[in-house]
Amino acid sequence: MSKVVAHIDGASQLEYDRSKPLPERQREYLDRMDADMDRGIVLGGIQVPHPDLQQKAQFIAQALAEAIRDDNEPVAAATLSWLANRLPDLKQVKILDMGDGRMGYELIFDREFAPESKVQFVKPEDFRKQ
């Protein structure tokens, strides 16, 4: 599967399909994002003057989580696009609501996204009525 899915509580929020070619203008935008990050980022309150790919991915994933929380579709699309193009084995970005408006994330590389299904439990007394 060539999709990367960002989801909250098992519900897909945004998907990126790697099988569709990225237009030149968007590739250039991702390159500018890299160049901006190469000048330094703040990650977990700590200044990182020369971030590596993993640190950039953490920074971008946090920005994605916050963009989804804020319904900022352009930033969410750009950040998911960056993650999908820079991390070819990434399959999911699980967005976590940490409470108090704080958002977190988990990058998942080992399994495709599958929507969570709700399990309806039947009380024993209801089962006997059937």
- Output phi, psi for 14, to 5 deg: -160, 140
- Output phi, psi for 90, to 5 deg: -70, 135
Q: Which two tokens stand for residue 116?
A: 């969570």
- Average pLDDT for 5-29: 92
Q: Exposure string (b/e) for 76-100, b if CB count within 10 Å is 16 or more? A: bbbbbbbbbbebeebbbbbbeeeee
**Helix residue ranges per DSSP H, 1-130:** 24-38, 53-69, 73-86, 124-129
End-to-end CA distance of the chain: 42
pLDDT at 17: 95
pLDDT of 23 strictly over 70: yes
Q: Considering its fold, how many domains does the chain have in total? A: 1
- Average pLDDT for 48-75: 96
Q: Could you tell me the pTM of the whole model?
A: 0.84
- Output phi, psi for 49, to 5 deg: -70, -30
Least confident segment among 41-50, 53-62, 64-73, 109-118:
109-118
Give the pLDDT confidence of 88-123 residue by residue, as tens digits.
Answer: 999 999 998 888 888 889 999 999 888 765 556 666
Q: How confident is the model at residue 25 (pLDDT cuts 50, 70, 90)?
A: very high
User: Do residues 53 and 92 touch, judged by C-beta distance below 8 A?
Assistant: no
Give the pLDDT confidence of 26-39 residue by residue, as tens digits.
Answer: 999 999 999 999 99
pLDDT at 1: 58
pLDDT at 125: 66
The residue range of the domain holding 24 is 3-129
Report d(CA 15, CA 92) in Å as an integer.
9
- 26-105-93 Cα angle (round to 5): 50
